[in-house]
Amino acid sequence: MRIGVDLGGTNIKVGVVDEQGSILGQNVGPTPIEQGVEGIIRDITQQMKDLLEVLHISKGEIQSIGIGVPGLVGKNTRQIIYMPNLFLKDVVLDKKIEKVFHIPTFVSNDAAAAALGEKIVGSTRGISNSVFITLGTGVGGGIIINDQIYSGGHGWGSEIGHIYVGENFYNCNCGKNGCLETFASATAMIKYTKKRLSEGSEDTLILQKVEGDLKRIDAKLILDSAKEGDALALEVKNRFIKYLAIAIVNLYNILDPECIAIGGGISQAGDFILNPLRQEVNKRVFTKEVSYGDIVLAELGNDAGIIGAAFLENY
């Protein structure tokens, strides 16, 4: 058995995973950002102790611990260089947790861990070369090459959300213009909707659904309105599809993966986004002379990060 930890900007999730990749039990608690790195370590170790107790599992039965973190992890040092959402830089987690638990501990970028979870028991299992893209508040990604997590020469590869896909009307949090994240995240869909509303496109189901309260607009509501045929919602959705397709074609041109798995909250719209996405990608591929990796929906939802983290020792 192994422990996987998904350290997020909002919550810390901890799970015990068996060798087949099934989660035997998990718990979740808010991330104590204000307590800094020591508070986060305290919280992770306490959650692990609590969970083992509930499951009647002893520490000796745990082979390894893995932690997916929302940031850049140095390749050889495993030092966490930057976690913008946790306001932390230059953090060491693995050795500090090893000191408490005396179990080998590993860290990785959270989206890379989720990509690994999907590879072990989810949508990309059995596939040697794949890319996982998570479409949520932001856009993240993980790359599997030759059955291993690929994290680049220094450890900060797979920043899929920052692939340049075209000029945009607002800048990314990273300070640049044109990042995929500013076109294909929930935030991006909401921002573009509000922009179009401010330009006078007010004859829309979206406004009716939120009863005029713009703060209530979210990606699900936009996509639901698109399903009902609302013109503005369809425009927002088509824009999202177009730029996501550009990023995927860039991934084809560079990596030629056998499979691209789409996860994150937006992917819950299922075929409603998957089918037009496949069509748009097919229009944009370099040549029709060859076949490309399929685009599929991720299967594990929020569990992917815990499962992948649990197996970091081997990848």
Considering only the stretches 132-140, 215-223, 248-256, 305-313, report the one whose residues sit in contact with a second copy under the rule CB under 8 A: 248-256
Pairing of strands 88-91, 80-83: antiparallel
Considering only the stretches 8-16, 191-199, 281-289, 296-304, report the one whose residues sit in contact with a second copy under the rule CB under 8 A: 281-289
Considering only the stretches 123-131, 205-213, 268-276, 295-303, report the one whose residues sit in contact with a second copy under the rule CB under 8 A: 123-131
Phi, psi values for residue 284, rounded to 5°: -105, -5
Query: Rule CB under 8 A: is residue 279 a binding residue for a second copy?
Result: no
Q: Which residues are CB-neighbours of 23 under 8 A, at least 6 positions away?
A: 15, 16, 17, 303, 306, 307
Q: HSE on the CB side for 37, CA within 13 Å?
A: 18
User: Binder to a second copy among 167, 199, 211, 213 (CB under 8 A)?
Assistant: 167
User: Binder to a second copy among 72, 114, 121, 309 (CB under 8 A)?
Assistant: 72
User: Binder to a second copy among 119, 162, 191, 237 (CB under 8 A)?
Assistant: 162
Considering only the stretches 44-52, 59-67, 107-115, 165-173, report the one whose residues sit in contact with a second copy under the rule CB under 8 A: 165-173
Query: Rule CB under 8 A: is residue 1 a binding residue for a second copy?
Result: no
Query: Rule CB under 8 A: is residue 287 a binding residue for a second copy?
Result: yes
Query: Rule CB under 8 A: is residue 251 a binding residue for a second copy?
Result: yes
The Cα–Cα gap between 277 and 6 comes to 29
Query: Rule CB under 8 A: is residue 154 a binding residue for a second copy?
Result: yes
3-state secondary structure of 244: helix
Q: Whole-number minimum distance, CB 286 to a second copy, in Å? A: 5
The Cα–Cα gap between 132 and 264 comes to 10
Considering only the stretches 28-36, 51-59, 270-278, 289-297, report the one whose residues sit in contact with a second copy under the rule CB under 8 A: 289-297
Using the minimum distance from each CB to a second copy, give the nearer residue, 59 or 170: 170
Q: HSE on the CB side for 259, CA within 13 Å?
A: 22
The Cα–Cα gap between 108 and 129 comes to 18
User: Binder to a second copy among 62, 86, 133, 163 (CB under 8 A)?
Assistant: 163
Query: Rule CB under 8 A: is residue 87 a binding residue for a second copy?
Result: no
Q: Which residues are CB-neighbours of 261 under 8 A, at least 6 positions away?
A: 115, 118, 122, 123, 124, 130, 131, 132, 133, 295, 296, 297, 298, 299
Using the minimum distance from each CB to a second copy, give the nearer residue, 293 or 305: 293
Query: Rule CB under 8 A: is residue 129 a binding residue for a second copy?
Result: yes
CA 106 distance to own-chain centroid? 19
From residue 19 to residue 58, the character string flagging contacts with a second copy as x (rule: CB under 8 A) and all else as - is ----------------------------------------
Q: Whole-number minimum distance, CB 284 to a second copy, in Å? A: 6
* Strand extents, DSSP E, 110-247: 130-135, 139-145, 148-150
To which residue do tokens 């291993």 refer?
148
3-state secondary structure of 310: helix
Q: List residues binding a second copy (CB under 8 A).
A: 72, 81-82, 89, 127-130, 143, 145-146, 150-160, 162-167, 174, 176, 178, 246, 249-259, 284, 286-287, 289-293
